[in-house]
Amino acid sequence: MSEENINIGWRAPSNIALIKYWGKRANQLPENGSLSITLEKSTTTTFLSFRKKESGNSEIALNYYFHGDRLPQFEKKTELLLNNLLPEMPFLVDYELEFHSENNFPHSTGIASSASSMSALALCLVSMEELVNGKKMSREIFFRRSSHIARLGSGSASRSVYGGLVLWGNTPCLKESSDEYATPYLLPEDSRLNKLMDIILIVSSMQKSVSSSKGHALMNEHPYRDGRKSQANTNLEKITEAIRTNDYQTIASIAENEALSLHALLMTSGSDGLLLKPGTLHIIEEIKRYRDSTGLDIFYTIDAGPNVHLIYYEDQREQVLSFVQKSLSQYCEGGQWIDDKMGNGPVQLTPEQKI
């Protein structure tokens, strides 16, 4: 390898789960299967710059910058991941590593910023691995390995290395599925589901009181743990069948059930588990009333935070945008919402596009 700095960049999307991953076993393995929509516009951009160390030692040499500033909590989490990766990527101790990362949406608010950030980081690391080893991987192997590496940093990040609908967790619903990495859930080209849209309603941009990592850990002793695992796997079977048959009402019903179940688990996990805000509940009620009055195939879901995802189909866009502007934006912080949709997955960047 050259002694000069080598730069690698990836832009990776967030995702929103319809079937939630909540609760994990050792080594970031999921208690249940999950299914998500990869977004297009809500992304993390990460560049990795690396060069050979002048003197060898066995420690990770790392600097991590978020929006131009050193951020100790992100640097510590990245350093922990890199140390855990040494059995798989021993070359990491031979280089000085510098990460520069930026989000275009609020982090730590329940919009899966860990999914986009850890998938972008994993893609950079696997690209580095190709360069260091001088061996190009096939496209399938590259993204599968990236999904595996991303999973070790954040479980939901395993799904963000692919576009479209993505499934993670070993399940009879998809023969190729695995707990170790995520797998694209392919749709027919003419499926209406290829045109899924997502409006993210920002009820609060404040950092949530319970991190997703802590929430997962709280499930270890949760009295409803076994019931949740059974519920999620049953819902995964039902929603994949509904997707196959274009049963939009069942898709909506299951997705909303999953969102409310997640928050029920959070609220019964500890005193800090109430992450919903009054605006969240107002939005849910407005969506239900609007759906009942119009018959549109819209539905909501929520990750581990207060912000609401309004999922709809492209052919309903004009009506839904009007509804958001007239009825829902009043419950958003500063009237803020993100106009997003299902996307095609990560994009590799050139050094000239560096942050």
pLDDT surpassing 80 at residue 108: no
| 240 burial level (CB within 10 Å; 0-12, 13-18, 19+) | buried
Q: Which of 181-185, 279-283, 301-305, 326-330 has the lowest average pLDDT?
A: 301-305
Residue 205, pLDDT above cutoff 90? no
Give pLDDT, residue 272: 82
pLDDT at 2 over 60: no
Task: State the Cα–Cα distance between residues 142 and 279, nearest whole angstrom.
Answer: 42
CATH architecture of 6-186+343-353: 2-Layer Sandwich (3.30)
335 φ/ψ sector (left φ>0, alpha ψ -120 to 50, else beta): left
Average pLDDT over residues 310-316: 98
pLDDT given at position 237: 97
Q: Give the gyration radius of the chain's Cα atoms.
A: 20
Confidence of residue 353 (pLDDT cuts 50, 70, 90): confident
**Other CB atoms within 10 Å distance of the CB of residue 313:** 17
pLDDT at 355: 63
Q: In what order do the strands lie in the sheet with 308-313?
A: 299-302, 308-313, 196-201, 337-341
Of 58 and 78, more confident: 78
Identify the bridge partners of residue 103 per DSSP, sorted by sequence position: 44
Rounded to an integer, what distance in angstroms lies between the CA atom of residue 152 and that of residue 134?
A: 24
pLDDT surpasses 60 at 145 = yes
| E-assigned strand segments in the chain | 6-19, 24-25, 29-30, 34-52, 61-66, 69-70, 95-103, 165-168, 182-184, 196-201, 299-302, 308-313, 337-341, 347-349
Distance CA(334)–CA(346), nearest Å, equals: 30
Residues 158-178: tens digit of each pLDDT: 999 999 999 999 999 999 999
The pLDDT of 288-294, averaged and rounded, is 98
Could you give the C-alpha distances from 308 to 35, 170, 214, 235, 317, in angstroms and in order?
17, 28, 21, 20, 17
Q: Is the pLDDT of residue 109 over 60?
A: no
| Torsion sign (Cα): 148, 21, 314, 199 | negative
Integer Cα distance of 230 and 316 in angstroms: 34
Is residue 36 scored above 80 in pLDDT? Answer: yes
Q: Looking up tokens 């929509």, which residue turns up?
A: 37
Residue owning tokens 């700095």: 5
Mean pLDDT of 187-198: 96
Q: What is the pTM of this model?
A: 0.93
Is the confidence at residue 1, as pLDDT, over 60?
no
Mean pLDDT, rounded, for 110-124: 89
The amino acid at residue 175 is K
Q: Quick one: pLDDT band at residue 87, thresholds 50, 70, 90? A: very high
Q: Give residues with Cβ within 8 angstroms of 355, minimum separation 6.
A: 45, 47, 68, 100, 101, 102
For the residues 57-65, what does the mean pLDDT come to?
A: 91
pLDDT at 58 over 90: no
Indicate if the pLDDT at residue 186 is higher than 60.
yes
Return the axis-axis angle of helices 139-153 and 72-85, rounded to nearest 10°: 120
Read off the pLDDT of each residue in 213-241 and give the average, rounded to a whole number. 89
Q: Where are the domains of the chain?
A: 6-186+343-353, 192-341
Q: What is the pLDDT of residue 112?
A: 63
CB 50 within 8 A of CB 128: yes
CA-nearest of 121, 155, 120 to 304 is 155
Q: For position 49, what pLDDT does the model report?
A: 96
Cα distance between the two ends of the chain: 24
Q: What is the pLDDT of residue 56?
A: 72
| Pairwise CA distance, residues 249 & 282, whole Å | 22
pLDDT at 253 (0 to 100): 98
Percent of the chain at pLDDT > 90 equals 81
Cβ(344)–Cβ(328) below 8 Å:
no
Q: What is the CATH number of domain 192-341?
A: 3.30.70.890
Q: Is the dihedral of CA 85, 87, 88, 91 positive or negative?
A: positive
> How confident is the model at residue 187, as a pLDDT?
96
The pLDDT score that the predictor gives to residue 273 is: 85
